[in-house]
Amino acid sequence: MTGRPESIVSELLVRHGRLYAEDAGIRLTDRPGPLYQLLVLAMLLSVPIPAETAVAAANSSRAAATAVSAGIGTLSSMAKTRSW
């Protein structure tokens, strides 16, 4: 395996399969949200638990954060219209 880093990564993926980030549903982009999700996943993977458990926990954490964000958005719009 010699050559450019991109070709090395491609070869590793061909040989060894998917990334944990893919399994956790994290779409890797150079933005704060996905990078934070990746950090949470990395921290969970460093704990002595099965990788599948860490990936499932990261996925659940991401889903919960999305639900909280949606709830905050609803509360914010309710406060603006005073429809409570």
**E-state strands within 1-84:** none
Q: Residue 52 has what pLDDT? A: 92
Residue 58: count of CB within 10 angstroms of its CB? 25
Domain spans in the chain, listed from the N-terminal domain onward: 5-81
Return the closest-CA partner of residue 24 out of 49, 64, 52. Answer: 52
pLDDT, tens digit only, all 84 positions of the chain: 567 888 888 888 888 877 888 888 888 888 888 888 888 899 999 989 999 999 998 888 877 776 655 655 555 565 566 654
